[in-house]
Amino acid sequence: MLTTLDAVLDHVAVAVPLDGRADRWWGEELNAGSVSGGRNGVFTARQYRLGGGGKLELLSPDPGDSSAQNFVRAFIDRFGTAIHHLTLKVADLPVALGVLESAGLDVVDAALDDPHWREAFLRPKQVGGLVVQVAWSDGGDEEWSRRIGFPATPPAPDTPVLLGPRLRHPDLAAARRLWTVLGAQVSEDGGRLHCRWPVSPLDVEVVAGAPAGPVGLRMTGISPRPAEHGVCPAIVD
């Protein structure tokens, strides 16, 4: 029986207001490539590819849903522009859910009926302050873009490289066990964990500290900067 996910870290999602500032910064100022985009009545999502191949998703409340209960709006009202979730892609979602449940993790909001996209989630309190989406799709980025008619573009040669998120956790031993279950190869260096998936351009770095949660996005080719509401979370080196 599998005890770890057969997974790859697909992308990092950041919650932003839908006012165009984040799209202009990532897509025009940083020259990131466009991967896909769409809306479903609850949220809109636009994915960008940065240097090195890493993907970033901008998640916003759908303009057609003005309710205060909209989960993206509630997140932005509470945390501002911040990392919302990570998405792990798996080859077989029911098998992955069995692994997570065997590890004592509480999987929520599983949706297994769509022929093209299936997903489930781990709550922030289980993962150290952010949501983890575990998902399956029946094709890669190029096929998905063709299916929805999205004009994908590559990043420019000078686009900064997205390495992945830096997270904070009060118990590195517990964090190591968690990210190992989530399919990462975990090593420790200088009091921080490096969680890597061999075929992903992104990884996760975990530093000791409290409260648990995201610290910022690790990037190269751009200077560190504090979070800017509507644009980006903190950029760290």
Listed in sequence order, the residues at least 6 apart from 117 whose beta carbon sits closer than 8 Å to its beta carbon are 135, 136, 137, 138
Return the amino acid letter for 199.
V
Query: Which stretches within 80-171 are classed as H helix?
Result: 93-102, 124-127, 141-148
pLDDT attached to residue 111: 94
pLDDT attached to residue 155: 98
pLDDT, tens digit, 9 for 90 and up, residues 45-92: 999 999 999 999 999 999 999 888 899 999 999 999 999 999 999 999
Query: Which stretches within 15-171 are classed as H helix?
Result: 21-23, 71-79, 93-102, 124-127, 141-148
Neighbours of 42 (CB within 10 A): 14
Taking 90 as the threshold, does the pLDDT of residue 139 lie above it?
A: no
Chain-centre distance for alpha carbon 109:
17
Q: Which long-range contacts (CB under 8 A, 24 or more apart) does 208-212 make?
A: 208/168, 208/169, 208/170, 208/172, 209/168, 209/169, 209/170, 210/168, 210/170, 211/129, 211/168, 211/170, 212/128, 212/129, 212/167, 212/168, 212/169, 212/170
The rounded distance, in Å, linking the Cα atoms of 144 and 3 is 30
pLDDT, tens digit, 9 for 90 and up, residues 200-229: 999 999 999 999 999 999 999 999 999 999
pLDDT, tens digit, 9 for 90 and up, residues 167-180: 999 999 999 999 99
Query: Which domains, and CATH codes, for the chain?
Result: 7-236 (3.10.180.10)
Taking 80 as the threshold, does the pLDDT of residue 1 lie above it?
A: no
